[in-house]
Amino acid sequence: MPRDIRRIVTGHDENGKAIVIADGTTPNVFTPEHRPGVQINNIWRMNESPAHLMSQEETVDGRIALEPPPNGSVCRVIEFPPEKDWIDNIDRDAAHASFTQFGAAHAADTSENPPHPLMHRTETIDYAICLEGEIWLVLDDSEVLMKAGDVCVQRGTNHAWSNRTDAPCFMCFVLIDGTFEA
């Protein structure tokens, strides 16, 4: 069952003192139509690097996209429900539709027979932190089980996330814009 994610954002008052400018549930949550039970909570997004730290402006309004903006970053918490509840209902067309809904049709794996229907590749470096539960990182020819406390540095590889347990898995992702060019 999806849960609310609390987000605390700090900033500065008119005198430069540290204050909390937001404390409450994540204001922008996305539930993809073709991924039953998946809940994506955008925590924060930066539209540039280096980040402008003195701005008080909310950054997660608007449509949630898979990738961060050019030269930007995004932090999100995703709940992955048990895959057994929906995996039989997601074919290649549904997987492509899911990525399209997330603004990333170009990221979907279009190979003949991918190891997982939701394989994808983004031009980002992703820090993936398993907060609760277990999930499989599926790569082209291998898989790695991640458990609570494990961290993956995912560097623009073709991959998918597969929850093969009977309980939800909560992951935190920080995606930073990158390039495949040397």
If you compute the radius of gyration of the chain from its CA atoms, what whole number of angstroms results? Answer: 17
In a domain, 112, yes or no: yes
Q: How far apart are the C-alpha atoms of 90 and 15, rounded to whole Å?
A: 53
Number of domains present in the structure of the chain:
1
Is the pTM for the entire model greater than 0.85? yes
In a domain, 4, yes or no: no
pLDDT tens sequence across 44-86: 999 889 888 888 788 887 777 889 999 999 999 999 999 987 7
In a domain, 137, yes or no: yes
Secondary structure (DSSP) of 87-143 = GGG--HHHHHHHHHHTT-GGGB--SSS-SSTT-B--SEEEEEEEEESEEEEE-SS-E
Domain span at 51 = 28-177
In a domain, 55, yes or no: yes
In a domain, 95, yes or no: yes
The residue written with tokens 């430069």 in the block is 16
In a domain, 114, yes or no: yes
Q: Residue 21 has what pLDDT?
A: 93
In a domain, 19, yes or no: no
Q: Residue 35 has what pLDDT?
A: 79
**CATH number (domain holding residue 114):** 2.60.120.10
Q: Average the pLDDT over each of 50-64, 102-116, 124-138, 150-164 and give the range with the smallest value.
A: 50-64
Number of residues in the chain: 182
Is 80 exceeded by the pLDDT of residue 1? no
In a domain, 3, yes or no: no
